[in-house]
Amino acid sequence: MIKPGATLGILGGGQLGRMFVMAAQSMGYAVTVLDPAPDSPAGRVAERHLCADYLDFMALDELGSTCAGVTTEFENVPADTLRYLSKFCPVSPDADSVAIAQDRIQEKQFLTHNGFALAPYLILDGQHPLTPAIDPTLFPGILKNSRFGYDGKGQVFVESADKLHDALISMNNRCCVLEKKVSLVREISVILARGRDQQIVCFPIAENRHTNGILDVSIVPAGIEEAIAVQAREIARQIAIRLDYVGILCIEFFLLENAQLLINEIAPRPHNSGHFSLDTCITSQFEQQVRVLCGLPLGNASLMRPAVMVNLLGDLWRENCAPDWRLIFNHPVAKLHLYGKQEARPGRKMGHFTVLADTVNEALVLALSIKQALTAEEQSFSFPTLE
C-alpha cells in the first residue's frame, strides 16, 4: 500500500490529470505531473511539473525515482513509456492494456477474438488499392484513424463505397478502421475500477448525447431497462478481466433498437462521461484512480442523487470573455467545474457543470435550460483567470 504523504506521478496534464491531482491532494498525497505543455491544467495545481516529452528518458528517470506510483490521464502515452516506468514503481494501467486500447485495430481484434459484439467493421492499411470486394453493407460508415482520435477527430463519414478512396486520401492513407454506421437508440458508458486484488467496482451507467462527435450531455442514471444495465456492467467486467486491467476503465456502448449492446470504444482512463461522480457519488472516479494506484480498498461508487453533466466548450467564450457564470451559480443544485485553461477555442473542453435533483427528469430540464441560457446570452463579462 502506498500511504498518504507519498508522491504520485501522472503522465498527462489535461483536465483529467488536474482532477486526479486534486483528488490525490485531498487524500494527503503530493503529485508530480509530466507533460510537455508548459502551462498544463494539471501542472498548474500539482506540487511539481516536469515539462518534458513522454519519451524523454531523463525526465522519466526523475519521475520514476521520485514517485511511489505512476498513472496516466489519457491513452496516447507511449506504451514503452509505461513499460520503462514500471522498472521503478507500480504503474497503472500497464503497458500491455494501454497498447491495445490506444490502437483501434488492436482493440477491435482483441474484442473480436474474445467474442464481444461490435458493429461490422473492416481494417484498411491505407496503402493498397481498394478492390470491388469490399462489403457494400458496410456503408454508410465511419472511417476512423487507428490512433490518436478523440472527440470526433480523425473520423470521416463515408456515404458509399465509391467515396472510400477519397476518404482514405483525406486520412493521408494511414491505417484506418471502417465501421458500419448503426441505427441506435442511445449511447451509454460503463466506468469501472479494478484493483490489483481483482476487486471490481462499477459506477452508475451514464446515457451520453454527443454533438459534432463531442460529448455534450451525460444523464445518470441512464434511461435503460435493468436487464440491459446488468448486461452492460457484466460485459465491462469481462473486458477488464480479459485485459487483466488495473485502473479506471470506460466502455462505451451503442444500444440498438433490438436491445442489443455493441461495444463502441474502450478508454483506459477516467472518462468525460464520469465527471458526474465528482458531485453525486460517494467516491469519484478520480479518487478511485488514486485508490487503485495506491493499493487501497476501492471506494463505494453508489449514486447519491440523479445528475446531469453538461460540457462547457470554448465556443461559449465570446471575444475572450467567459460566459456569465451567474446563470449557473443562481441555481443551488448546479455545480460549476472549470479546468484552468488559458485559451478558449471552439470545441475545446473548458469545463463542465453538473445539476443534481430528486429525479433524472428534473435534473435534465434544469441542465438544458441553463445550457440554453449560456448559449443564448448576448452579454458576457470578463472572468478572472484561474491561477
Q: What is the DSSP letter of 76?
A: T
- In the block, cell 487501497 appears at 296
104 is in an annotated binding site: yes
Distance separating alpha carbons of residues 336 and 373, to the nearest angstrom = 15
- Helix crossing, 104-113 with 226-243: angle to 10°? 110
The verdict on whether residue 172 carries a ligand-binding annotation is: no
Between CA 352 and CA 339 the distance in angstroms is 9
The annotation status of 94 as a binding-site residue, yes or no, is no
CB atoms within 10 A of CB 344: 17
Q: Which three cell numbers stand for residue 292?
A: 487503485
Residue 182 labeled ligand binder: yes
CA distance 177 to 107: 11
339 is in an annotated binding site: no
343 marked among binding-site residues? no
Residue 64, marked binder? no
265 marked as binding residue:
yes
3-state secondary structure of 51: coil
Q: Is 9 annotated as a binding residue?
A: no
On the 0-12 / 13-18 / 19+ scale of CB atoms within 10 A, 331 is: middle
87 is in an annotated binding site: no
**319 annotated ligand-binding residue:** no
150 is in an annotated binding site: yes
289 is in an annotated binding site: no
Q: Which residues of 154-178 are buried (b: 16+ CB within 10 A; e: fewer)?
A: bbbebeebebbeebbeebeeebbbb
Check whether 126 is labelled as a binding-site residue: no
362 in a labelled binding site? no
Binding-site positions for ATP? 104, 144, 149-155, 179-182, 187, 210, 264-265
Binding-site positions? 104, 144, 149-155, 179-182, 187, 210, 264-265
